[in-house]
Structure 1
Amino acid sequence: MKTYQNALNLIGRILIVALFLPAGLSKLAGFEGTLAYFASLGIPAPVFSLVATIVIEVVGSIALLVGFHTRVVALIMALFTLIAAVTGHAFWAAPADAVFIAQLLFFKNIAVMGGLLILASAGAGGFSIDGRKVAK
């Protein structure tokens, strides 16, 4: 049973990383364009916010993937995802023709937060750096 849980935990971490890692890498590759987008949203200190976003998405993804400090990283990423949902997908303030997509993305973020909070609660499982530390 434990191997089954560890395998599902690993698959879940991989699937969460499949959302965040490409997003962070695309922000890094398109830094100037993303910076302009952040500024257009009225995000304070857009350069700092963008760098922090890239670090959270890329470094956080790698940490989740290998299961390193998973509980803390998952909590940080859950909080980040909440902030991203409110600032980037504010469907309540979107023009009428953009409400549906913004609402869909907002609630996608809320669902991802749920997965991250479960991961923060459960930890990374046995197939992880964290799991190897516990086994010793």
Structure 2
Amino acid sequence: MSGIMKIGDWSVTAGYMSAKGMPVVPFFLIMAIIFELLGGLSVLLGYKAKFGAWLLIIFLIPTTLIFHNFWGLEDPDRQVQVIMFMKNLAILGGLFIIAALGAGKPSFDEKGKS
């Protein structure tokens, strides 16, 4: 969903990225969309799920550090960003499990093994 929303709100997302000091915003925005769509669909469908999980991990680590840097903010913005940071850490934990173990039985990856 996030990748699709970035396409629909291109200028808003680009403005937010610029405000955070991102260089070469169009390039990084396109890469974010690609990583989110490919990685998300891969994990959702269980097709090349380990690869998809690694795409999302590679995307999510710098995104979390750049866009949810709560340590540089004051309340109430700090509280919101702590929640977002912790949410991303939880997602990363799940992605590391998929990257290590794969998608599991109800997936396209497992169907090919039968």
Shift of 1:97: 2.8
Residue correspondence of structure 1 range 26-41 to structure 2 within 5 A: 26-41=5-20
Gaps of 5+ in 2: none
Q: Which residue of 2 aligns with 1:98?
A: 77
- Out of 29, 41, 45, the residue aligned to residue 50 of structure 1 is 29
Gaps of 5+ in 1: 1-21
Q: Which residue of 2 aligns with 1:63?
A: 42
* More helix as a share of residues: 1
Higher relative contact order (CA 8 A, sep 6+): 1
* Amino acid corresponding to residue 31 of structure 1 in structure 2: W
* Amino acid corresponding to residue 46 of structure 1 in structure 2: V
In the alignment, the residues of structure 2 paired with residue 117 and residue 110 of structure 1 have an alpha-carbon distance, to the nearest angstrom, of 10
Offset from partner CA, 1:86-130 (integer Å, 9 cap, x none):
011000112333110011101110110000001111101122121
Moved more, 73-82 or 107-116: 73-82
* Amino acid corresponding to residue 102 of structure 1 in structure 2: Q
In the alignment, the residues of structure 2 paired with residue 74 and residue 103 of structure 1 have an alpha-carbon distance, to the nearest angstrom, of 23
Secondary structure of 2:106 counterpart: coil
Moved more, 109-118 or 43-52: 43-52
Q: Percent identity?
A: 28
RMSD: 1.2
* Amino acid corresponding to residue 32 of structure 1 in structure 2: S
Offset from partner CA, 1:62-102 (integer Å, 9 cap, x none):
11121111112102212211111101100011233311001
- Out of 60, 83, 98, the residue aligned to residue 81 of structure 1 is 60
Q: Which residue of 2 aligns with 1:130?
A: 109
